[in-house]
Amino acid sequence: MPVQLTAQGKTLFALLSGDIDHHTAPALREQIDNAVTEYRPRMLCLDFSAVSFMDSSGVGLVMGRYRHNAAFGGDTQVCGLSPSAERIMKMSGLGKIVSFKKNAEGG
Amino acid sequence: MEKINEFRMTLWAKSVNEGFCRAAVAAFAAQADPTAEEISDIKTAVSEAVTNCIVHAYPHTDGRIYLSCQLYRDGRLRISIRDTGCGIEDIKKAREPLFSTMGGDRSGLGFSVMESFSDKMLVRSRPGKGTTVILEKRIRGRT
């Protein structure tokens, strides 16, 4: 399973794992969007701590999930980024709309 | 500077090969004893270049990606990623951060990431003929 989804209160945790690239992102996107549509969390927490590799497809993945979740009124946060993944995320300016945390803590 | 090793491969421009390309280049680079950070940088830059070929180069046909890699005595790794696809009309524009001709979940960061994660990036392209991206990364290694 490349993404493990767990609901806790109003928070939906998505623990991503493996490589995130243009090939693997669509399956992740679909699973997370389906869970968000069904559960309508107040906070979506995308946890990258088990991700082994990420290129700029990870930015698209976060941006798209932020938009989808915001359409239902939810916020999105990102945690567990490797230094390299964090560098890519920051290049995109995503930090203006999504909060970056060290560890998954919900909200 | 003296070239000490080289490999070349040709692949179909299929997204499943993105992981294969970056793993192949990383495995080749391993002989220069790179740090984990250097390997991660190389994999990231290669992944972006190969993804560009797959996403943009061949919109209507099947195509191929030509990947070659040279290692020099001073630890310099030179990676060439070439396609014979549609080419880029405006390279300057394509290299701008956040510019993408694709909508959806494409971030438009491909060239910015390649540039940032390598020491040098060259892009040559001719509309209708194809695109070559050359990435250079000096492996300083763990010693």
d(Cα B68, Cα A24) in Å, to the nearest integer?
24
Q: Which residue's structure tokens are 């180069």?
A: B57
d(Cα B4, Cα A86) in Å, to the nearest integer?
34
- Residues A32-89 have pLDDT tens digits of 999 999 999 999 999 999 999 999 999 999 999 999 999 999 999 999 999 999 999 9
pLDDT for B100 equals 83
Chain B residues with CB under 8 Å of A23 CB are 15-16, 18-19
pLDDT for B60 equals 84
Which domains are seen in chain B, by residue range?
3-138 (3.30.565.10)
CATH topology of domain A3-101: Transcription Regulator spoIIAA (3.30.750)
Interface contact A57-B107, CB threshold 8 A: yes
Per residue of chain B (143 residues), give pLDDT as tens: 899 999 999 999 999 999 999 999 999 999 999 999 999 999 999 999 999 999 999 988 899 999 999 999 999 999 999 999 999 999 999 998 888 887 778 888 999 999 999 999 999 999 999 999 999 999 998 76
* CB-based contacts of A58-61 (< 8 A; 24+ apart in sequence): A58/A20, A58/A25, A58/A85, A58/A88, A58/A89, A59/A88, A59/A89, A59/A91, A59/A92, A59/A94, A59/B107, A59/B109, A60/A25, A60/B104, A60/B105, A60/B106, A60/B107, A61/A20, A61/A25, A61/A28, A61/A29, A61/B105
Interface contact B109-A91, CB threshold 8 A: yes
Interface contact B98-A25, CB threshold 8 A: no
Chain B residues with CB under 8 Å of A25 CB are 105
Catalytic residue among B18, B22, B52, B82: B52
The ipTM, to two decimals, is 0.93
Q: Judge whether residue A12 has pLDDT over 60.
A: yes
Nearest-CA distance from B126 to chain A in Å? 25
Most A CBs within 10 Å: which of B56, B95, B109, as the mutation test of the A interface? B109
- Between the CA of residue B86 and those of B32, B62, B134, what are the distances in Å? 35, 12, 18
Structure tokens, B132:
């070559």
Q: Judge whether residue A106 has pLDDT over 60.
A: no
- Is B106 catalytic? The answer is yes
Nearest-CA distance from B2 to chain A in Å? 31
- Is B48 catalytic? The answer is yes
Chain B residues with CB under 8 Å of A20 CB are none
Nearest-CA distance from A66 to chain B in Å? 11
Read off the pLDDT band of A105 (50, 70, 90). low
3-state secondary structure of B68: strand
Structure tokens, A107:
């909200």
